[in-house]
Amino acid sequence: MAHIESILKQLQQILIVERSNQEERWKRGECFNIFQILGVSTSEVRLHSAFLAELLNPNASHGLLSKFLSSFLDNVIRRENAPFEFDVDSAKVSVEYNVGSISDDYTEGGRIDLMVQDKNKQTIIIENKIYAGDQPCQMFRYNQFAKNDLQLSDNQLRLLYLTLNGNEPSEVSLNKAVFKYYRISYRDDILTWLDCCLSIAALKPMVRETILQYINNLKYILSIMETSNNNKFLDVLTSEDNVETALAILANAGEIHNRIRENFIEEIHKLCVSYGYTFKCDEGVRTASHNNWIHITDPKIIDVEFRIGVKSHTNSDGYRMCFVSLTRQKPNCEYKFWQNENPTDDEFPFGWTYLWGEDGETGRWWRWDDIDTLKDMANGKMLKFIERQLQQIKDENIFEKMNELLG
């Protein structure tokens, strides 16, 4: 135990330096990021696919012709010395390329996130995943389209599966078929290429600074520390004296996450008691299991329940807040507690919202396996947000109001 405490103290010192550096970057304005300000930080279509497509397009507004595309071919496509001929000057780039309506059996149709093709039909297809989950037969469909509709040979096609950390596509996406595809990641492949793009754009300050903002946005999403601090962090963990302990901690990562969630849930319980509300928690909430909820009720109101929980915990769906009627299957009520675009339905008649972040609009608190979310559970940020929700419910007599509306 003393050894673990010694390691943690060393790591804590590195994190203190990292936080200090972050504060200095903030003071210098280096944390100003237009993508985060506009709320598109993690949007696959509106930001990531569109931005990558603009860089890869020789005719785009960056004015650097095919230089970015050539660098992408060298640093991503041909990184393992795999030959791939491509005429960069004739390249055509498409975003959300429509390959037809999705068939009933999901084996045809869809929209390809990003496609780059030259005059010789040499083709790069990119399936881009930030947080969205795999669709049924998705990679299978795009491979079928390339082989059957475009009539491409293996030498003419590079089918890429792009994720934050280089994950494998699911069997659902592959349709259990065997075909050639390449896994690439934002963490390694895209960031490496973007560093080259910075050099290419050295004399184009507007382009260079925009790419730099995009890089910083990716590092924010990926929770990447400054290189020097990250190296020190890894040096401590992988030293001969510490590596066995570090691996033991990694082996228990799942239970560490569960314990953080358990402590957070218990703090919500204490809050509810202080507000005079009844608290009940389904067992699966702490393990992010599907359709599990924290149930919060006013003991004086029998028909309305405030819930925090999850219908399904996937890359595209997660924890939310909602009110439900406990006795009416189809309550006739148009009142919405959250004024957002999420539709009301029979299950959530008063509307619902994802747990986003401190501002209630951006962030990843809907992912309870996300490292930043776990940090905010532990440091009290999420609890303060939940307390604000409970305070508003109490101040505005929301339980009583909804009970009256239900008649």
> What was the pLDDT predicted at 367?
85
* HSE-CB of 324 using CA atoms within 13 angstroms: 15
What's the CA gap between 314 and 309, in Å, rounded? 13
Low-confidence ranges of the chain (pLDDT < 50): none
- The β-bridge relationship of strands 319-325 and 304-310 is antiparallel
Q: Using DSSP, state whether 155 is helix, strand or coil.
A: helix
> What was the pLDDT predicted at 259?
92
Place of tokens 């082996």: 251
> What was the pLDDT predicted at 1?
66
Distance from CA of residue 12 to its chain's centroid? 26
The one-letter code for the residue type at 96 is E
Number of other residues whose CB lies within 10 A of the CB of residue 286: 20
> What was the pLDDT predicted at 101?
93
Secondary structure (DSSP) of 125-175:
EEEE-SSPPPPTTHHHHHHHIIIIIS---GGGEEEEEEESS-PPPPHHHHT
